[in-house]
Amino acid sequence: MSATGGDAPGGHIVSFAPGDVRSQRRVAFVVASAAYGLFRLTSKIRIENPGYLPEKTGAIVAAYHANHLDPILVGLGLWRSGKLPHFLAKSTLFSGPLGIVLKGLGQIPVLRASAQAGDSLEYAKDALAKGEIVVIYPEGTLTKDEHFWPQHFKSGTARLALETGAPIIPAAHWGLEDVKPRGTLRPRFRPLTHTSVVRFGPPIDYQDLWEHREEKSSMTALTKRLTDTIAGMVADLSGRELPARFRTEEADS
């Protein structure tokens, strides 16, 4: 399967050719403008450390996932920092009106529990090679932790990095639980008094793992490193003490 020719999961062809990316950016301008206007009815947005995003090369943005609204917050954080985000999203979203929008934005569908599930990483590799930003939720789903700490990270993010050498930019956020509390359907409207923060961190250093990048232990170590880093960012943003399970020597250094 070629990342530039075949059908992506769900029959959606993903292309990152220059002309297609220009088209995606035109769609993104309209969608992001509308999304920002709607989001601002609920909260102000603060973007921290966008300078960690590379200027010209591709990168993996590994994002904390704790709220149904955080793809909007993270996506707006990237767009307003000059980057077009390409999310890896479950293929069931690529139908109906939402699917039309996601396809127009150049998002990458993931068909879980299927022989095609690995195809999404091939498209992600193509996007990275062309200098695009690929956004992955390492947990693959919303955290179920009652205190909103990250849960088990899957290995896909580490594998993609170790196969491409792309930088991993950790992203965390805080404040969305006050906008849309867990278990509720309707957001709260607090446009003047509340701020939701999205923060980007420095690239995860995994140079020490590169020589043995094909070994499972390297993938496991990088996944743990990423988990602890994002947990540390969440602790800092929320003003809480970092739980012991995330306190590795690497995370504290």
pLDDT band, residue 253 (cuts 50/70/90): very low
- Taking a C-beta distance cutoff of 8 angstroms, is the pair 22, 106 a contact? no
Does residue 2 register a pLDDT over 70?
no
Separation between Cα atoms, residue 95 and residue 141, nearest integer Å: 19
| pLDDT tens, position by position, 148-199 | 999 999 999 999 999 999 999 999 999 999 999 999 989 999 999 999 999 9
**pLDDT recorded at residue 6:** 44
pLDDT band, residue 247 (cuts 50/70/90): confident
| pLDDT tens, position by position, 80-124 | 999 999 999 988 899 899 999 999 999 999 876 555 556 788 999
Does residue 5 register a pLDDT over 90?
no
**pLDDT recorded at residue 3:** 43
Scanning the structure block, which residue is given the tokens 């639980």? 177
What is the mean pLDDT of the segment spanning 202-207?
97
**pLDDT recorded at residue 116:** 57
Q: 21-239: which CATH number, 3.40.605.10, 3.30.70.260, 3.40.1130.10, 3.50.50.100?
A: 3.40.1130.10
**pLDDT recorded at residue 120:** 83
Backbone region of residue 165 per phi and psi (left: phi > 0; alpha: psi in -120 to 50; beta: other values): left
**pLDDT recorded at residue 36:** 97
Burial of 123 (0-12, 13-18, 19+ CB in 10 A): buried
| pLDDT tens, position by position, 29-77 | 999 999 999 999 999 999 999 999 999 999 999 999 999 999 999 999 9
Q: What are phi and psi of 249, to 5 degrees?
A: -60, -40
Closest CA to 237 of 66, 25, 122: 66
What is the mean pLDDT of the segment spanning 5-23?
76
**pLDDT recorded at residue 117:** 56
DSSP string, 132-153: -EEEE-TTSS----TT----PP
Cα distances (angstroms) measured from residue 95 to each of 28, 99, 103: 18, 4, 9
**pLDDT recorded at residue 31:** 98
* Domain segments of the chain as ranges: 21-239
pTM above 0.95, yes or no: no
pLDDT band, residue 4 (cuts 50/70/90): very low
Separation between Cα atoms, residue 84 and residue 15, nearest integer Å: 14
